[in-house]
Structure formats: structure tokens, C-alpha cells
């Protein structure tokens, strides 16, 4: 099978940045709705419904995409990635319902950092000393946010750290798939496989969902699809060194949204730790641009 050809970004940085802003707003909409739903229904059930609606949105695009006839190896990778992402999504819904939005955003920035480590371990990428230092700074940033030994670490916070590992694994599998499979197929198959893997967990904990919750989760799927579409457009129009910094606006926006909509206090430790993680990602992105490599994923690529 012929390897997929990835077009180089066009030189339209302003347009790319605006598309990335739209992507960030859409993903913040997802966060707000999931926060609003809270623990009304079990996390696995909420995640299952969200991805079921997402699969319906993507279904019309799947048939023409599958004309490429992915190999048996690719189908196994689709299933494996779906399992990893399903685990991360289920934990994310739980964490989102129990942890302040700003903290969710800050810990979420850990995923791209973990991808750098995973790329060195599993994909044979070189892990230079500068990038090792950036990874250490990011991990210290998570420590500042959680402050183990100085503040009680909740199950929701533990779940969100685990989410970062699951999503990093999912992205690494996707990176391998891009060698032979078109991006559209990868996105559609992920949504379908996540729905499949979440179904037994959702059934085991199923409660009758209020109609309003079902409607909100359908809106969530729409926001998520819009976020990924806008992110893809941003990548087409501008290099990652332009679009990546825009994603960092989600932290201050998340802090503001949590304070205004949900009355969440501003935690200075979350701000400091988040800034450390963002600085590490920004440094790695800049270094990879200088070296003409793409190891650290754009932050939005690890969204649900």
C-alpha cells in the first residue's frame, strides 16, 4: 500500500491561528458541558453516549475512506488505539466531573510531553539532553499542581494523570498509522472503536439517562467534531510553531470559565504548574521546528 502523503502547511499563519482559536473554544465547550453534567450518569456511560453520537457524525465519511482497504495490521492498530483512547476517555469524563476545569486543562498538557518520551522508547526517536530537561520540567509542573504530601491528591486528579498516559499511547499508535493510512480514516475508526470498547463498561454501569443529558452529550459530540475539524484546518494553513502557542490560551480561558460559570477559585499552584508544563512543550516544539522534526504532537491532537 502506498504511504499517505501529508501536505506541508500553507503560509497563512493568521488564518491558521484563528482556526486554532476556534478549535480551543470548541474544546472548552466540551469541558463546560461535561462539567455541567457532572456525575448525573456514570462516566463510562457519558463517554459512550458522546462517542456514539460522534460516530454517527463521522459515519457518512467512512465508506469512501475505507475504499483504501486498510491492511490487517492497520485494523489491529485501530482496535488497539481505540482501547487506549477508550480508557483515557472514561477516566477523563470522571476527572472532568470532579476536578476544577483549570486543573484539567493544566494536567492535560502533560500528554504531548509523554509522547516525546514514548517516541524515544517505542518509535526509536532520539531523546536529546535538552528534551530530557524539558520533560523533567513538565513532570515537576505536574508535581506543583498536585503537591503530593502537602495537599490531598484526589481520585479525579490521579485519573487525569492516567489520562495523559492513555492519550499519549493513543497518539503514538496514530503516528504509526499515518505511515500507511489517511488521517480521515484514522479519526473515523478511532471514534468507532472507542464506542465499541466503551460499550461493555457503559452497560455494566448503565442508568436511565435524563433526556436533557442525552441532548447535551449530542451537543458535546458536535463541539468535539468542530474542534478537531478546526484544528485540522489550522494545521493545513500554518506550521505547528504558529498554532501550538495558541492552544496555550485554553489554560487562562479555562481558569476564567471555571471561575465565572462554576464558581471555582483560582489556584495559584495550578497556574504555576501549568506554566511550567506549557514552557516545556513550547521549548520542545521550537527545538523540533529547528531540527525539522515532528515528535511532540500539537496539544489539541490529544483531545477527546
Contact at 8 Å (CB) between 96 and 31?
yes
- Write the CB contacts of 266 (distance below 8 Å, at least 6 apart in sequence): 102, 255, 259
- Predicted local distance difference test score (pLDDT) of residue 300: 62
Q: Using pLDDT thresholds of 50, 70 and 90, give the confidence band for residue 107.
A: very high
**Confidence at residue 2, expressed as pLDDT on a 0 to 100 scale:** 42
pLDDT tens-digit series, residues 25-82: 999 999 999 999 999 999 999 999 999 998 888 877 767 666 767 788 989 999 999 9
**Stretch 110-128: mean pLDDT, rounded?**
82
**Rounded mean pLDDT of 233-260?**
84
- Between 146 and 124, name the one with better pLDDT: 146
pLDDT at residue 200 in the model = 95
Going by C-beta distance under 8 Å and a sequence separation of 6 or more, which residues neighbour residue 43?
A: 90, 91, 93, 94, 97
Q: What is the pLDDT of residue 94?
A: 94
Of 58, 68, 60, 53, the C-alpha closest to 3 is 68
Tens digit of each residue's pLDDT (9 = 90 or more) over 136-161: 999 999 999 998 877 888 999 999 99
All residues at 6 or more sequence positions from 238 whose CB lies less than 8 Å from its CB, including other chains: 9, 10, 11, 12, 13, 15, 16, 17, 20
Amino acid at each position: 500500500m502506498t504511504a499517505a502523503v501529508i501536505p506541508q502547511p500553507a503560509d497563512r499563519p493568521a488564518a491558521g491561528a484563528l482556526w486554532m482559536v476556534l478549535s480551543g473554544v470548541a474544546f472548552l465547550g466540551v469541558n463546560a458541558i461535561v462539567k455541567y453534567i457532572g456525575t448525573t450518569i456514570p462516566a463510562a456511560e457519558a463517554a459512550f453516549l458522546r462517542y456514539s453520537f460522534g460516530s454517527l457524525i463521522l459515519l457518512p465519511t467512512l465508506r469512501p475512506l475505507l475504499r483504501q482497504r486498510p491492511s490487517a495490521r492497520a485494523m489491529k492498530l485501530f482496535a488497539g488505539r481505540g482501547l487506549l483512547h477508550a480508557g483515557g476517555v472514561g477516566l477523563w469524563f470522571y476527572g472532568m466531573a470532579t476536578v476544577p476545569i483549570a486543573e484539567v486543562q493544566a494536567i492535560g498538557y502533560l500528554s504531548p510531553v509523554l509522547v516525546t518520551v514514548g517516541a524515544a522508547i517505542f518509535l526509536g526517536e532520539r531523546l536529546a539532553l535538552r528534551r530530557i530537561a524539558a520533560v523533567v520540567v513538565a513532570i515537576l509542573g505536574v508535581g506543583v499542581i498536585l503537591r503530593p504530601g502537602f495537599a490531598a491528591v484526589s481520585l479525579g486528579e490521579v485519573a487525569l494523570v492516567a489520562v495523559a498516559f492513555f492519550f499519549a499511547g493513543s497518539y503514538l499508535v496514530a503516528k504509526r498509522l499515518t505511515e500507511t493510512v489517511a488521517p480521515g480514516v484514522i479519526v473515523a475508526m478511532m471514534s468507532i472503536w472507542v464506542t465499541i470498547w466503551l460499550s461493555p463498561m457503559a452497560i455494566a454501569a448503565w442508568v436511565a439517562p435524563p433526556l436533557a443529558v442525552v441532548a447535551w452529550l449530542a451537543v458535546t459530540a458536535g463541539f468535539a467534531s468542530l474542534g478537531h475539524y478546526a484544528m485540522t484546518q489550522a494545521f493545513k494553513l500554518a506550521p505547528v510553531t504558529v498554532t501550538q502557542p495558541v492552544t496555550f490560551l485554553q489554560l487562562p480561558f479555562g481558569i476564567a470559565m471555571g471561575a465565572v460559570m462554576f464558581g471555582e477559585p483560582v489556584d495559584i499552584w495550578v497556574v504555576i504548574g501549568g506554566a511550567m508544563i506549557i514552557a516545556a512543550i513550547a521549548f520542545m516544539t521550537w527545538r523540533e521546528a529547528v531540527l525539522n522534526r515532528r515528535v511532540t504532537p500539537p496539544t489539541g491532537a490529544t483531545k477527546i
